[in-house]
Structure 1
Amino acid sequence: MSRNIYLGRRVRDTGKKGLDNLREVRDICKAILRDYKRHRIPYKTAMRRLVFLRTTVIKRSEKLVGKKRKAYAIVREYEEQLRRLRK
């Protein structure tokens, strides 16, 4: 079972190597949120990773062509969840 490391945490790679489907985007977001809930990373780090995922990783992904708008929406949804958890 091969795994790639994304944003400092391990997420199982599905399909081709690298970020190539929306399921992986959602899994990465879930992993970041889970790390925050378990106090493994602070709020700033979690938010920084989500923003990095949205602005850099998705933007550069050639494999997500046509799915980038949905990927952005998924990350935005998890950013909102993180903000609500902080309150």
Structure 2
Amino acid sequence: MSRSNIYLGRRVKDTGKKGLDNLREVRDICKAILADFKRGRIPYRTAMRRLVFLRTTVIKRSEKLVGKKRKAYAIVRKYEEKLRGMRK
């Protein structure tokens, strides 16, 4: 697997352009990561790592939080909080 193809959610279909280009994809990837954790496919640490990676992919440090990026960032943060609440 190449460095550019890091797993975030294999069951999520890519819609539109290649890569993350809409909020639905971000939300679906977050849901898939949480579902993998609930089913015991991945441990908490891996699930959180994937969510954090998704968040850093959505918004780079050098860019401002505007428009869709702000919403995508908020979506990922919401799912990080859900994951923290699910932790035993």
**TM superposition score normalised by structure 2:** 0.80
SS in 2 for 1:9: coil
Amino acid at match of 1:7: Y
Counterpart CA distance in 2 for 1:59 and 1:7 is 18
Identity value in percent? 77
In the alignment, which residue of structure 2 is the partner of 1:46? Answer: 47
* More strand, by proportion: 1
Structure 2, unaligned runs of 5 or more: 61-65
Structure 1 runs of 4+ with >3 Å offset: none
Structure 1 unpaired stretches of 5+: none
- Mapped to 2, the partners of 1:69 and 1:22 lie a distance apart of 10
Superposition RMSD on alpha carbons, in Å?
1.7
CA contact (8 A) 1:47 1:79 kept: yes
How many residues were matched structurally?
Answer: 78
Q: For the residues of structure 2 that align with 1:41 and 1:82, how far apart are their CA atoms?
A: 12
Residues 1-87 of structure 1 correspond to what in structure 2 (within 5 A)?
Answer: 7-10=7-10, 11-55=12-56, 57-59=57-59, 66-87=67-88
TM-score (norm: length of structure 1): 0.81
